[in-house]
Amino acid sequence: MSYNVMAPSVACAWMCQDFLDVRALRGLYVFRHDSQLGNASAYTLFERIHVTRTADVPRSFAGYEVFVNDAEVPSGVTLLRKI
């Protein structure tokens, strides 16, 4: 079995007023492959996860939207949401 891992996070030191929260993990997405050599290219799997800004000037993670296209995942690949 092999794995590809995607962890979207927001570096908010430049946008938070207190500068104490440098990084915050908001999601952990693991693509598990049935084959040790992999069943799909990493770039095709990572393209399924999109982070878009929803506020003009985001001040927190609430200013972003994470969309995961989990429809029609390639055969032999399982998408696991850990966080």
| pLDDT for 75 | 92
The model's pTM: 0.66
Whole-number pLDDT of residue 61: 81
Q: Are 80 and 29 in contact (CB under 8 A)?
A: yes
Query: Which pair of structure tokens corresponds to residue 47?
Result: 């393209």
- Which tens digit of pLDDT belongs to each residue from 38-79? 899 988 988 898 888 998 988 888 888 888 898 889 999 988
Check if the beta carbon of residue 10 is closer than 8 Å to that of residue 52: no
Cβ atoms within 10 Å of 12's Cβ, excluding its own: 19
